Structure formats: structure tokens, C-alpha cells
Structure 1
Amino acid sequence: MKNIVAKKLLLGAVVLPVLFSGTAMAQEQPEAYASDRRGEVATDSSGDCWRTGYWTPAMAIYECDPELVPKPVKTVEAPAPVVAPPPPPPVTAPEKVSLSADELFDFDKAVLRPGGKEKLDDLVAKLGDVKYDTIVAIGYADRIGAEEYNKKLSLRRAEAVKDYLVKEKGIPADRIFTDGKGEANPVTGDTCKGTKKTKSLIECLQPDRRVEVEVAGTREVVQ
């Protein structure tokens, strides 16, 4: 390494003593290496750094005196964690169940039969994986009898279904709504002939005596 010794040339000038305070001296940091015009450490043709007369081993830098300074350790940034993409949204489908009245009630009755209770038990079991907000029970009646009577009968049947679901299955009452449509929307259409209450006509009109339970919710469908 090359050392530079600064020399003072006095050309008829009077050198006056200058007093420096201890604080000022402490703040001045002498240069250990000579710098070029770009402010970088000056080197000779061999690539060695030029040391100034102030240089001491304690002021050595790795680029010029690697044998005096430990090699700096490069910090390696930890790789960014791999974030798995979010799962696709579940595919859902609406739920609507129609229950036959002859399984729930006797003819011209609104009292649940044992078989009807089993049907409702099965319905609740199927709702286990359904996310629902409301359940609507709509009762229907056949065309035998007076229209006003059948409308009230259909509503009593819907209310009987609600009462069982609330008291026996624990479904909140404010989530179940009921309605009675009477003779409206017959499933049999005009296929059953006759107007008198005969056994054959009662059997023919059986599909019209029903309770439709519609669940306003969704079920996840496995793709």
C-alpha cells in the first residue's frame, strides 16, 4: 500500500498559531485513504489503495485491506411465503320438498299421522347440510267440499307441520312461515272425474292433498 505524507510549503507567509478546542478536534475525521475526483478511493496501477498518513489498522476497509477486516456477511432475505390460492366458491342449489298429505294426515284431517312425523323427521335430517334462512310450509286441499272450508283446512295442515318442526325438531318459529292455498294448483288437473265424495274419487285426488315445504337456502353440491 502507498502512504501519502502531506508537506507544508511556507512562501514568506507568516504562520499564526491557531487554537482548536478539544470538541472541534474530536469532530474532524481524518481520511484513511486518498480519494479521486469522483470521491472514490484512489488506487495505483496495481489496484492498491493509496493510504494517507492518517491511516491506522483500525481504519482499514475490506475493499482495500481485506486481511485486516472480516469479510462482510451478506444478509439473505427469506423467500416470501407461498400463499395458496383461495378455494373456489361452493356450488349451491335451492331446496324444495313436496310432501303428500295422505302420508301426513288422514282424509279431511289436520292432525299429523305417525307416518307423517317420520316424513318430517327425514326432511329435517336432509336439511343438516343446508344453509337456510326461512322455511315455508304451504298446504293444499282437493276439490271435494266447499272452497272456503278447504282453504282453512289447507292452512291448518301447514300450521300442524310448523308446530311439529318447532316443538319436536327445535327449528326457530320465526324461521317458518305458513300459508294455505285450498284447492288452488291441483296436481291432478282434470283427470279425476265426478263430483260426489266417493272412495274412488278420494283416491284419485290424493296428489292434490299435499303440503309443500320450501327451504329458502342453499346446499353445497359436490362437483
Structure 2
Amino acid sequence: MRSTLKITLASAIVVAAFAPALASAQAKDGYLTDTAGKEVKALGANVCVRNSQWTPALATIDCDPDLVKKPAPKAAPAPKAAPAPAPKKEAPPAKPKKPAMLNIQEKIELQGMEFDKAEMTASNKEDLDKFLAGLGKATKARGPVAIGAVIVTGHTDRIGSLNYNMKLSERRAITVKDYIVSKGVDQKLIFWEGKGPKQPIPVTKFCDNKMKRKQLIECLAPNRRVTVEIVGRAQNLAKPKAAAKKPASKPAAKK
């Protein structure tokens, strides 16, 4: 009788302890829960209170962690593929080097003009044509010449007055200048002047004034001339010379 009374009294104490929670508790998924939906735990035991519907299949990780099947470990994430290498920037093509240029200075003398005449002879024209054509053609050493300036100078022999010969030399220079322009050279590039008898060919110093007039005129023919000098630029086409090999050093003399 006393034992029965003790059990009944103990049960009443447990129920009384849970009375505040049980007053609003409800059964859910095998455990008693409070109004907030949290599992009710026994005082001092930290154990969830199971209801009559509880089965191991309803075990939760918070109340019965030993009965809950642990989820399989998540597979390690596949490594991220390495980013594709950035395309290599191609170096811009090297700028072509500017060709080496040469300063060109060419000269021709159109000798043997008729006495007291300003016209060119057929031989003068032929020589000047070859001269101009040669400047426009490339050679092994240079490219075609780009003309920068043309200097035309007229000359006479010493026969006659200085004033007359100065004017005659100028007329000869103008005749040649006009002929060069007719060959396509810009007249703005041409400079002309007359020197008269002031710059004779050295060999004519042996022409004696005591000669007969016809002989003297023929002797002084080289002075009746027009000088054409052309200044310009052309590309250097000559191949660079290979560096000379250094002579092998002599072996040291034996002592």
C-alpha cells in the first residue's frame, strides 16, 4: 500500500513538473512540442519527451542523434577548371628601317658650241640626254636620283669684248636651261648664270693670239661651253662591307 502510494506520488510530481508545458503541448512527429514547435525536454535530463507515436524512424538529430542516419559526406566540389591562358599579344611588326640615303652631285660640260652662237650642237644634246637618263636609272651603288637643284653656267672664249661675251654666256645658259625643262625637270629647281670668258679651260692657255683667227677660234672651242651640275639624293644600294677578320694571335715565344 505504501509503495503504491509512493509511485502515485512520484508520477504526480513528474506530471506537475511538466504541467506548464503539457498544458499547451501537442504531439508532433513522435515528440511532444511546445507552442513554438520545439521539442519538450524532461527537466534535469535534457531528454526529449516521446509520445505514443514515436518510432525510431521519427528520431531527430536534436533528440536522438544516435538513431539518426548521418548523411553521406558531400562530395568535394570538382576543382574549377583553370582559366584559359590569355592569348599572347603578337608583337607589332618591326617598322622597316629608313633606307640610307646618299648625297649626289653630278656634273657635265657641254663643250664645242659654235663661235658667237648660243644654240646647242647635236652632240651637246646627245650628251645631255644620256646624262639626264643616267640620273633616272638605278645603279649597283645607288637608286634613281631625286633632283634637288640644277645649276647651269654659260661660258665663252676670250675673243670679243667682256660685255658682249657676258651676254652671250647668259644666252647659252638659258638655251640649255630651256632644253632641260623640256625633258621634264621642274624649272623652279634650275638656277642659271653666265660667266663670260672668266673661267677658261686650262689647256686653252696655249692658244696664242698670234694664231690666225680661224685657228684661234678652233683652239678656243673647249671654252665655248655650258656646265650643268645636278645636286640631289638617292638611296644607297651598296652592300655593306663584311668586317675584316682579325689576324690570329701569334703563339707566345718559348723561353
**TM, length-normalised to structure 1:** 0.60
Amino acid in structure 2 at the alignment position of 1:122: K
Rounded to whole Å, the distance in 2 between the matches of 1:200 and 1:85 is 65
Counterpart for residue 39 of structure 1: none
**Larger-gyration structure (1/2):** 2
Q: Using the aligned pairs only, state the percent identity.
A: 36
Counterpart for residue 78 of structure 2: 68
Matched, 1:186 2:200: yes
State the Cα distance separating 1:99 from its structure 2 match.
Answer: 1.9
Rounded to whole Å, the distance in 2 between the matches of 1:212 and 1:190 is 17
Matched, 1:78 2:93: no
**Runs of 4 or more consecutive aligned structure 1 residues displaced over 3 Å after TM superposition:** 82-86
Counterpart for residue 203 of structure 1: 218
State the Cα distance separating 1:68 from its structure 2 match.
Answer: 2.0
Rounded to whole Å, the distance in 2 between the matches of 1:117 and 1:176 is 17
What number of residue pairs does the alignment pair up?
158
Alpha carbons 1:155, 1:179 under 8 Å: kept:
yes
Rounded to whole Å, the distance in 2 between the matches of 1:114 and 1:217 is 27
> What SS does the corresponding residue of 1:191 show, helix, strand or coil?
helix
State the Cα distance separating 1:130 from its structure 2 match.
Answer: 1.1
Alpha carbons 2:147, 2:233 under 8 Å: kept:
yes
State the Cα distance separating 1:82 from its structure 2 match.
Answer: 6.1
- CA, structure 1 residues 190+165, in 2 after alignment: closer, same or farther (shift >3 Å)? closer
Alpha carbons 1:93, 1:221 under 8 Å: kept:
no
Alpha carbons 1:106, 1:113 under 8 Å: kept:
yes
Matched, 1:120 2:135: no
Counterpart for residue 5 of structure 1: none
Equivalent residue for 1:136, pick from 151, 156, 162: 151
Rounded to whole Å, the distance in 2 between the matches of 1:174 and 1:212 is 18
Matches within 5 A, 1:68-107: 68-81=78-91, 83-84=93-94, 86-87=96-97, 89-102=99-112, 105-107=113-115
Query: Residue by residue, what CA displacement relative to the aligned partner does 1:149-179 show, whole Å, maximum 9, x if unpaired?
Result: 111111111100111122x312222221210
- CA, structure 1 residues 134+87, in 2 after alignment: closer, same or farther (shift >3 Å)? same
Equivalent residue for 1:222, pick from 237, 248, 252: 237
Counterpart for residue 191 of structure 2: 177
- CA RMSD across the alignment: 2.8
Rounded to whole Å, the distance in 2 between the matches of 1:95 and 1:206 is 26
Alpha carbons 2:150, 2:189 under 8 Å: kept:
yes
Query: Residue by residue, what CA displacement relative to the aligned partner does 1:103-139 show, whole Å, maximum 9, x if unpaired?
Result: xx32221112222222222222123121122211111
Amino acid in structure 1 at the alignment position of 2:118: A
Query: Residue by residue, what CA displacement relative to the aligned partner does 1:80-108 show, whole Å, maximum 9, x if unpaired?
Result: 42644643642413223122331xx3222
Matched, 1:149 2:157: no
Matched, 1:111 2:119: yes
Rounded to whole Å, the distance in 2 between the matches of 1:199 and 1:221 is 49
Query: Residue by residue, what CA displacement relative to the aligned partner does 1:59-82 show, whole Å, maximum 9, x if unpaired?
Result: xxxxxx4x5244223314415426
- CA, structure 1 residues 199+188, in 2 after alignment: closer, same or farther (shift >3 Å)? farther
Deviates more, 1:204-213 or 1:194-203: 194-203
